[in-house]
């Protein structure tokens, strides 16, 4: 990015109208990817001077144990529902989860899910890191996921969405292909980086389950309806040029007993619709690059 300038210079402006037609495999109009956040939060993390880890004094029992529900209970519920309806995950991973609870990581790997890094812990933030420190967490992420899963990570979602001005340049330099941190479009976009090539894949805050339940205060059925409306619109507009819909999830939210049933109906709806290319993040980036790089 152009550090210190009013326009960070992340990408070129490109109007939604009149774009070249993107097409997805088999004539599908909307690429749908599901992004479960598989995370580990620390009970008593060190303080980052730029952001508090927990809103309450440690131990924040509800905050911590709510998130621990993910690894004990709700990951399994969510993952089974996804597999049942043919949705692989592209995982936003706190890579320390590979050390703490390899059961969850191995399960995701066995289901054919793709991993990208969401930092070491979701209680360690990038704010204030110097370049060497930031390189250390990128190198740690690449090595840890490789060791635990055999996969080479291709993407990045900053830990707890904390960035520095050099993050995008660095992940491109390390050969990562995509970032999930930019929310300016419903199609993949080229990001301007110092070296290498980086694609912004549409993630979503707006239909993220955390936003649905805690920013917009939706009921489980309202959230499910929101996802279906999001899909219907993007699938229709994708007739002109293929769109991308991401469903970012936290199992400790979507996997609660009052939410998982309505959510499963969404997966059933999208899978049965016929217009969805149900894919992993890397496949979407590859398809996009194959069409624009030609």
Partner 1 sequence: MTLDPAYLQYPKRQRGMDHGHYPYSRFDTRPPVHWPEGKSVAIWPVISLEWFPILPDDEPFRAPGHMQTAYPDYRHYTAREYGTRVGLYRLLDAFEAVGAKVSVATNSAIAERYPEIVEAIIAAGHEIIAHSTDMNGTIASGLPEDDERALIAQSLDTLERVSGSRPRGWLSIARSQSFNTAKLLAEAGLEYMCDWVNDELPYRFATEAGEIINIPLNHELSDRQIVNVQQQSADSYVQQMQDAYGWLAGEAADHGGRMLPMHLTPYIMGLPYRMDVFEGLLRWLADQPGAWFARGDAILDSWSAQQ
Interface ranges with partner 1 (CB under 8 A): 40, 42-44, 46, 48-49, 56-59, 61-62, 64-69, 71-73, 76-77, 80, 96, 99-103, 120-121, 124, 128-130, 133, 136-137, 213, 217, 219-221, 256-262
Min dist CB 56 to partner 1, Å, is 6
For residues 31 and 153, which CB has a smaller minimum distance to partner 1 in the complex?
A: 153
Beta strands at 243-250 and 30-38: parallel, antiparallel or unpaired: parallel
CA 56/CA 140 separation, integer angstroms: 29
CA 68/CA 274 separation, integer angstroms: 36
For residues 120 and 172, which CB has a smaller minimum distance to partner 1 in the complex?
A: 120
For residues 30 and 137, which CB has a smaller minimum distance to partner 1 in the complex?
A: 137
For residues 213 and 277, which CB has a smaller minimum distance to partner 1 in the complex?
A: 213
Min dist CB 37 to partner 1, Å, is 16
Min dist CB 221 to partner 1, Å, is 7
CA 27/CA 220 separation, integer angstroms: 32
Min dist CB 111 to partner 1, Å, is 14
Does residue 251 contact residue 97 with C-beta atoms inside 8 Å? no
For residues 30 and 101, which CB has a smaller minimum distance to partner 1 in the complex?
A: 101
Q: Which of 36, 48, 47 is nearest to 97 (CA)?
A: 36
Length of the chain: 294
Does residue 93 contact residue 116 with C-beta atoms inside 8 Å? yes
Q: Which of 218, 198, 196 is nearest to 206 (CA)?
A: 218
Burial class of residue 240 in the structure, from the number of CB atoms within 10 Å of its CB (0-12 exposed, 13-18 middle, 19+ buried): middle
For residues 135 and 192, which CB has a smaller minimum distance to partner 1 in the complex?
A: 135
Min dist CB 114 to partner 1, Å, is 22
Min dist CB 166 to partner 1, Å, is 13
């Amino acid at each position: 990015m152009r550090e210190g300038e009013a326009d960070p210079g992340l990408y070129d402006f490109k109007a939604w109208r009149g774009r070249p037609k993107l097409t997805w495999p088999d004539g599908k109009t909307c690429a749908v990817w599901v992004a479960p956040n598989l995370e580990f939060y620390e009970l008593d993390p060190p303080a980052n001077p730029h952001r508090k880890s927990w809103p309450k004094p440690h131990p924040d029992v509800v905050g911590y144990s709510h998130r621990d529900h993910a690894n004990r209970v709700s990951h399994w519920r969510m993952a089974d529902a996804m597999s049942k309806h043919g949705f692989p995950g592209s995982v936003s991973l706190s890579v320390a989860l590979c050390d703490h609870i390899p059961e969850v990581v191995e399960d995701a790997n066995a289901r054919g899910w793709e991993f990208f890094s969401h930092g070491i812990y979701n209680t360690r933030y990038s704010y204030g890191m110097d370049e060497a420190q930031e390189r250390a967490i990128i190198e740690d992420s690449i090595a840890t996921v490789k060791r635990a899963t055999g996969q080479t990570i291709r993407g990045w979602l900053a830990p707890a969405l904390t960035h520095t001005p050099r993050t995008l340049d660095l992940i491109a330099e390390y050969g990562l292909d995509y970032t999930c941190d930019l929310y300016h479009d419903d199609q993949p976009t080229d990001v301007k980086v110092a070296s290498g090539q980086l694609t912004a894949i549409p993630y979503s805050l707006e239909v993220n389950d955390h936003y649905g339940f805690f920013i917009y205060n939706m009921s489980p059925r309202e959230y499910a309806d929101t996802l279906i409306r999001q899909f219907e619109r993007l699938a229709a507009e994708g007739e002109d040029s293929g769109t991308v819909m991401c469903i970012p999830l936290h199992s400790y939210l979507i996997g609660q007993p009052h939410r998982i049933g309505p959510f499963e109906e969404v997966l059933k709806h999208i899978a049965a619709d016929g217009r969805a290319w149900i894919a992993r993040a890397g496949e979407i980036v590859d398809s996009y690059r194959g069409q624009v790089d030609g």
